[in-house]
Amino acid sequence: MTPEPQPQRSTPAAHRPSEGPEAGPAESGVPPLSIVALDDDPDFRQYIAAVLGADGHQVLVAGTSEAFFALIEASMPDVALLDMKMGSESGEGVLGELRRRWPKLCVIVVTGYPSLDSMRQTFKREVFDYLAKPFSLADLRATLRQACQKLGLGQRPRDRLRTELGRQIRIARTERGWTLRDLSDSCGVSVSQLSSIERGAHLPSVESLIDIAGALQKQPSAWFSAAGF
């Protein structure tokens, strides 16, 4: 394989997100999130902490993978921002370790050296998005907004559990080709209750959850794990 060309590292300003209007949580449409960012550029770390902090997020930054992992271990953030090109450290290696230790963590890759091969490799690791520097703050906010909508980020733990349980039950039911009536007949939970549970509007009781999981031949523990519990 031909080695990827290594362009000259640009100035910190060139790798910063493009300037945009400041926005709080309400204006940006993104609820407050806990974010940990890894980047070897101290100016970029300071900048990303400032702009995301102004949006109402709790932002922790690290300049090494060791510090990055320690911050994630201690804070269990909603989002990890990962720079893929960091001098002697391999972003690919950091991403692999992230996935090994926290397989459900939302990871957004940022890089000043984008390539199609790098993008393909990172998406194989189930990153949520891949942003090329310099990206606009509007792009970053849009990515965070999409992550909140698709992954339920920024919710209280109980809300996140309710949303994810409903999603997992709906997936398991449709995989079997069942209607809500089919599931109701099998588990004894009413159609109206099942509909409410699948929409994430209602948290099932322990008894109902066991009955539903049994009917679908699934382990409730796997559903809890998918919700981050």
Range name among 12-26, 41-55, 85-99, 193-207 with the lowest pLDDT average: 12-26
Instruction: Tell me what the pLDDT averaged over the chain comes to.
Output: 83
Non-local (6+) Cβ contacts of 209 within 8 A are 165, 220
The tokens for 201 are 């509007």
pLDDT at 125: 72
Identify whether the C-beta of residue 23 lies closer than 8 Å to the C-beta of residue 49.
no
Identify whether the C-beta of residue 204 lies closer than 8 Å to the C-beta of residue 165.
yes
Q: Is the pTM of this model over 0.75?
A: no
- Ordered domains of the chain (ranges, CATH): 18-151 (3.40.50.2300), 157-226 (1.10.260.40)
Q: Above 60 in pLDDT, residue 27?
A: no
Rounded to an integer, the average pLDDT of 108-115 is 79
Q: Provide, rounded to the nearest whole percent, the portion of the chain with pLDDT above 70.
A: 84
d(CA 52, CA 31): 12
